[in-house]
Amino acid sequence: MHDVPVHDVPVHDVTIVGAGPVGLFLACELGLAGCSVLVLEREAERRSPWKSAPLGLRGLSAASAAAFHRRGLLGALRAESGADGENGPDGEADPDPGSGSGSGSGSDEPSPPRSAGHFAGMVLDPAKVDVAALPYRLPGPAAEGVMTYLEAIDTVLTARAAELGVEIRRGVTVTALEQDDAGVVVRADGHEDGFTARWLVGCDGGRSAVRRLAGFDFAGTGPQFTGYVALADLADPEKLDPGFTLTPAGMYVRMAAPGHIGVLDSDGGAFDRTRPPTREHLQAVLRRVSGTDVTLTGVRHASSFTDRAMQATTYRQGRVLLAGDAAHIHSPLGAQGLNLGIGDAMNLGWKLAATVRGHAPDGLLDTYGSERHPVGAAVLDWTRAQSATMRPGPDARAVQGVIRELIGTRDGTTYVYERVSGSSHRYDLGGTHPLVGRDAPDLRLADGTRLGELARDGRGVLLDLRADPSLRATALKWERRIRYAAGPARNDLGLGAVLVRPDGTVAWAGERAPGPEEFTRTALRWFGDPDR
């Protein structure tokens, strides 16, 4: 390590490299906690056809939508996305939050999902999801996730970052970094003095400069296929079936928007991705994979990707951390990359903020890596399994047949849905209650207030459903870091009290009339000494 030079330039608490959804969400989390934040972005312009309709269409899982809901941003995101957004590749539109979700219907009972995703292009039937088997599912504004656009996410998060005093500099290419025990200096073209901060987070994508410059190990597996996404003009689009279509040579996807197509070619990742795919190349690949003579008369936008699955062996090197695609890359099968990154940002934000502000309990920041690294590894394996299932040849076709039979059953559909939606995810936080470590259900109090609404200031939340006086007296010692709320819930799921971390994870749950002792131990573990 090198000594960090002292310059007559502002020193921020945190520098974030990358102004994508992950970097911006993290910046907002830190800004909400009172940290000074600088975001550096390589691209000079915000707008891009890859962010807007239809190429920028993305699906936020219920967990990601809940993150926006907890910070009061979900309504703005829906509005910016345009009502219900657009249909996904399986034709399923984003649900009306006031009907099926129960947020406006008055229902507080679990409801079946409106869509259930797919595995290796094999679409799940949402009617076969066993809602009773889903842990602690309640209806709410975020229960179904949301279809949106990268541009909408960018707009909403950029506006919130500005409200919170976050500084964003665009057109800045990072070229070097130095760190010591006090902080980190980031060097960039055209900025001789560099940018100094106490902490640095790389959110700069799969080809992360921060990851490379800080010396993180990046390990994993090579590609099995090359994928293409394009907005093209087709002379005969009716030759392609709508939605996902598995073929002996790979898979193609005909999206709802005219000309929006995707192709997976099982070529072992042989395509030279340093150059954009031409119309002739795309047409040849699409014809071979689809088994049709479909004709592309023009290509407006096109890009390629692979299913290379790589992960940083650690998410922290000294004062440098990684999040999002900078920490892990994989194929887009299952559309989990954005959601995985939002989860990273939500988990890291409050922990890094507590560290910056000086009240973090010992080891808190280290739990970012110990909690999120296994989640990333599981997603990489999930996408690897789909790639293996789609390989050409009789072996993979036999596997496809078995999986089709499995996801045709209620148990099989429910299992895949849990994995794709993230509803089965649980951090290992200890504790005896099965809700601990899970994403908190959006409990609704008798006056209509939702648990998610109580988390908008970024504090943890203690929801005391039995209004226990001793628990209230103990909880108020942490009132700067934990919001206390009491009262019965319309469906309390058998809970007496629940303590939720700022990232929406249940840290402690008690049944009937829980006393303050377990709460105290948990509060000290996650929120530190209340007198600090």
DSSP string for 262-329: EEEE-SSS-S-TTSPPPHHHHHHHHHHHHTS---EEEEEEEEEEE--EEEES-SEETTEEE-GGGTEE
- Confidence grade of residue 30 (pLDDT, cut at 50, 70, 90): very high
pLDDT tens digits for 75-112? 999 999 985 444 444 333 333 333 333 344 456 777 77
What does the alpha-carbon distance between residue 315 and residue 327 come to, in Å, rounded to a whole number? 7
Query: Residue 10: which pLDDT band, with cuts at 50, 70 and 90?
Result: low
- pTM, full prediction: 0.92
Amino acid sitting at position 49: P
Residues 251-255 have a mean pLDDT of 94
Q: Is 369 helix (H, G, I), strand (E, B) or coil?
A: helix
The percent of residues in the chain predicted with pLDDT above 70, rounded, is 93
Taking alpha carbons only, the member of 452, 531, 444 closest to residue 67 is 452
Note the pLDDT of residue 102: 37
pLDDT tens digits along 487-496: 999 999 999 9
For the chain, state the CA radius of gyration: 23
159: exposed, middle or buried (Cβ count in 10 Å: 0-12, 13-18, 19+):
middle
Label residue 514 by pLDDT band (50, 70, 90).
Answer: low
**pLDDT at position 513:** 65
Q: How confident is the model at residue 481 (pLDDT cuts 50, 70, 90)?
A: very high
Task: Find out whether 342 and 365 touch, Cβ atoms under 8 Å.
Answer: no
pLDDT at site 2: 40
DSSP SS3 for 155: helix
Residue (of 396, 228, 388) closest to 306 by Cα position? 228
Distance CA 302, CA 279 (A): 9
Name the pLDDT band for 334 (thresholds 50, 70, 90).
Answer: low
pLDDT confidence bin for 9, thresholds 50/70/90: low
Residue corresponding to tokens 């809970």:
495
pLDDT band at 209 (very low <50, low <70, confident <90, very high): very high
Would strands 57-60 and 482-486 be described as parallel, antiparallel, or unpaired?
unpaired
Residue range 482-489: mean pLDDT, rounded? 96
Cβ(35)–Cβ(341) below 8 Å: no
Where residue 192 falls among pLDDT bands split at 50, 70, 90? Answer: confident
The answer to whether 471 and 515 have CB atoms below 8 angstroms apart is: yes
Pair 504, 66: CB distance under 8 Å: yes
CA distance from start to end of the chain = 31
- Locate 101 and state its tokens: 């979700």
Non-local CB neighbours of 51 within 8 Å, separated by 6+ positions: 149, 150, 151, 154
With 70 as the cut, is the pLDDT of residue 427 above it? yes
pLDDT at 323 over 70: yes
**Section 482-505 average pLDDT:** 95
Mean per-residue pLDDT for 444-456?
95
Average pLDDT of every residue of the chain: 90
Question: What is the percent of the chain where pLDDT is above 90?
Answer: 77
What's the mean pLDDT in 271-289?
A: 94
